[in-house]
Amino acid sequence: MHNQLLVFAGSTRQQSFNRRLAQVTAAMAREAGAQVTLLELSDFDIPMYNADLEAHGTPADVLRLKQILWEHPAWIICAPEYNGSYTALLKNTIDWASSPVKGDPDWQDGTRPFRGKVAGMLSASPGALGGLRSQSHLAPLLINLECWLAPQAFALGHAGSAFDDHGALVQPAHRDRVRAVVDQVLWAAGRLHPAAV
């Protein structure tokens, strides 16, 4: 099995629980036989979306991001929760990635990087709900962009005590829940995109 899975977190904070969760998820998917790209949004120079700025030319890193999203049939997004919703960073990334590039034969269709992708959602939070409200807001956004959303999802609560000193999840039950999302996303991508696996 050679699924092309993209894993990324909607945070660039150095000690982010969601970045840790993304690292755990990528490792689990590799153990399951998938080819995994662990993306760090901090590696991209993407400004706040502004149509006037875009009129002067879509930033090069936005075009690079569009290509990466398009190349991977399966994604897992680790979505932090700020004020009961997903982060401005995640929204801004999606807004740029879905914005049409006028006159570009590949990217004049704004939905192209998203359409038909199998997306799984994870989140981690110090609170008891684990970022569940972030997922509840992210889900309709992804569906609106024509992603296939995996029914399996997991919100990791009390994230401050959920990882050991090496960044691994302490509780087997938590590992099982993450693995269930990984397995379902890979399974669905294998059926929707058989040529890519």
Task: Classify the C-alpha dihedral 47-53-7-77 as positive or negative.
Answer: positive
122-148 per-position pLDDT tens digit: 999 999 999 999 999 999 999 999 999
- In this predicted model, which residue has the larger pLDDT, 149 or 2? 149
Q: Which residues of 66-83 are buried (b: 16+ CB within 10 A; e: fewer)?
A: bebbbebbbbbbbbbbbe
What pairs with residue 118 in β-bridges?
74, 148
38-64 per-position pLDDT tens digit: 999 999 999 999 999 999 999 999 999
Dihedrals phi, psi of 163, to nearest 5 degrees? -115, 145
The reported pTM is 0.96
86-123 per-position pLDDT tens digit: 999 999 999 999 999 999 999 999 999 999 999 999 99
- Confidence band of 194 (pLDDT split at 50, 70, 90): confident
What is the structure's pLDDT at 3? 57
Percentage of the chain lying above the pLDDT 70 cut: 97
Query: Quick one: which of 139, 119, 118, 140 has its CA closest to 192?
Result: 118
> Is 66 strand, coil or helix?
helix
Query: Quick one: which of 109, 127, 99, 93 has its CA closest to 8?
Result: 93
Q: 123: which residues sit within 8 A by CB, 6+ positions away?
A: 18, 21, 78, 79, 80, 81, 130, 131, 132, 134, 135, 154, 155, 156
Nearest-10 crossing angle of helices 88-97, 132-144: 10
Sequence spans of domains, the chain = 4-196
- Confidence band of 65 (pLDDT split at 50, 70, 90): very high
Does residue 16 register a pLDDT over 80?
A: yes
Does residue 168 register a pLDDT over 50?
A: yes
CATH class, range 4-196: alpha beta
Dihedrals phi, psi of 124, to nearest 5 degrees? -140, 140
Does residue 1 register a pLDDT over 70?
A: no
